[in-house]
Amino acid sequence: MPDPILQIAGLDARYGDFQALYGVDMTLAEGDVLAIIGANGAGKTTLMRSIAGLIRNGADEIKFRNVPIGALRADQVARRGIALVPEGRQLFPSLSVEENLLIGGRSGRQGPWSLKRVYSLFPILEERKRQPSTSLSGGQQQMVAIGRALMANPDLILFDEISLGLAPIVIRDIYRALPGIVSQGMSAVIVEQDITKALSISSRVYCLQEGRVSLEGASTTVSREDISRAYFGIE
């Protein structure tokens, strides 16, 4: 087994007095795709924001290539090579489509991704590059959010709800593009509500339930019954 790129151990995340994650343990091998599933409010977004540094935790609770990053600010985490495609796209409304992509690449990390490459993955964005990002459709905005994260040439990319609110055909396109994206030496964590999709794209799957890991396994071997039990907490 290759060295883990990401190791999470005993991660407790809080919003003020409310504890959203309890002792989450998770390991991601270099080059792997890991899927996270779980009901609404299970803590998936909290986990992604914790990895990205938007929620700060104990330093050793999150390690990236064996370096503790749990207590770093989001900009420090980003410069180390982790990019997040946030839930709800979260583009910059004052920036044009192209500026949203350019600001994603501002850290200047070297790698395969450039404006040209993003435009060849999503040609519609090149046609719309001068428009305000808010003038795009939801699916097109999701493409910008993905392109913006890729522009950083991250070693680890986090997708929070990649397909939420998108038309099936757009989801299909994005999932078709994913293997190509991840095969460029990137590792990925994908939050996905659609369990079939989650299992088909990933090599390992984690299920969160009320802030705890309720299931962990290889995507090819976990059974549907185990998943429904882990998902809903039905015994």
Partner 1 sequence: MEWLNAVIQGVLLGGLYALFAAGLSLIFGVMRLVNIAHGDLIVLAAYLGLTTSVALGLHPLLALVLVAPALAAIGFLLQIGILNRTLGNDILPPLLVTFGLSVILQNALLEIYTADPQKMDAGALETASVSLGGISLGVLPLLTFAVAVAIVGALQWVFYNTALGRAFRATSDNQDIAQLMGLNKAHVYGYAMALALAVTAVAGIFLGIRTSFDPAIGGSRLIFGFEAVIIGGLGNLWGTLAGGVILGVAQTVGAKIDPGWQLLAGHIVFLLILAVRPSGLFPKVTG
Ligand X SMILES: Nc1ncnc2c1ncn2[C@@H]1O[C@H](COP(=O)(O)OP(=O)(O)OP(=O)(O)O)[C@@H](O)[C@H]1O
Give me the residues that bind Mg ion (CB under 5 A), please: 44-45, 87
* CB nearer partner 1, residue 11 or residue 77: 77
HEC string of 4-49? EEEEEEEEEEEECCEEEEEEEEEEEECCCEEEEEECCCCCHHHHHH
Query: How many C-beta atoms surround the C-beta of residue 181 within 10 A?
Result: 19
Q: Judged by CB under 8 A, which of 31, 68, 111, 132 binds partner 1?
A: 132
Q: Shortest gap between Cβ of 189 and Mg ion (angstroms)?
A: 13
* Contact pick of 13, 20, 36, 84 for partner 1 (by CB under 8 A): 84
- With CB under 5 to 8 Å by kind, the binding choice for 43 among Mg ion, ligand X, partner 1, none is ligand X
Q: CA 127 to CA 176: how far, in whole Å?
A: 21
- Span near partner 1 by CB under 8 A; candidates 70-78, 170-178, 199-207, 214-222: 70-78
Q: Which stretch binds partner 1 (CB under 8 A): 24-32, 48-56, 118-126, 163-171?
A: 48-56
- Contact call for residue 43 and ligand X (CB under 6 A): yes
Range 66-95, binding ligand X (CB under 6 A): 87
Interacting residue with ligand X among 42, 158, 227, 230 (CB under 6 A): 42
Q: Is 57 in the site for ligand X (CB under 6 A)?
A: no
Minimum Å distance from CB 99 to ligand X? Answer: 28
Determine the interface stretch with partner 1 among 30-38, 73-81, 177-185, 189-197 (rule: CB under 8 A). Answer: 73-81
How near is the Cβ of 106 to partner 1 at its closest, in Å? 6
Q: 133 vs 214, which CB is nearer to partner 1?
A: 133
CB of residue 25 to ligand X, shortest distance in Å: 17
Cα distances from 52 to residues 7, 27, 82, 98, in angstroms, run 13, 16, 7, 23
Interface residues toward partner 1, by CB under 8 A: 52-54, 73-75, 78-79, 83-84, 86, 90, 92-95, 99, 102-104, 106-107, 132, 134-135, 148, 152
Q: Which residues bind ligand X (CB under 6 A)?
A: 15, 18, 20, 38, 40-46, 87
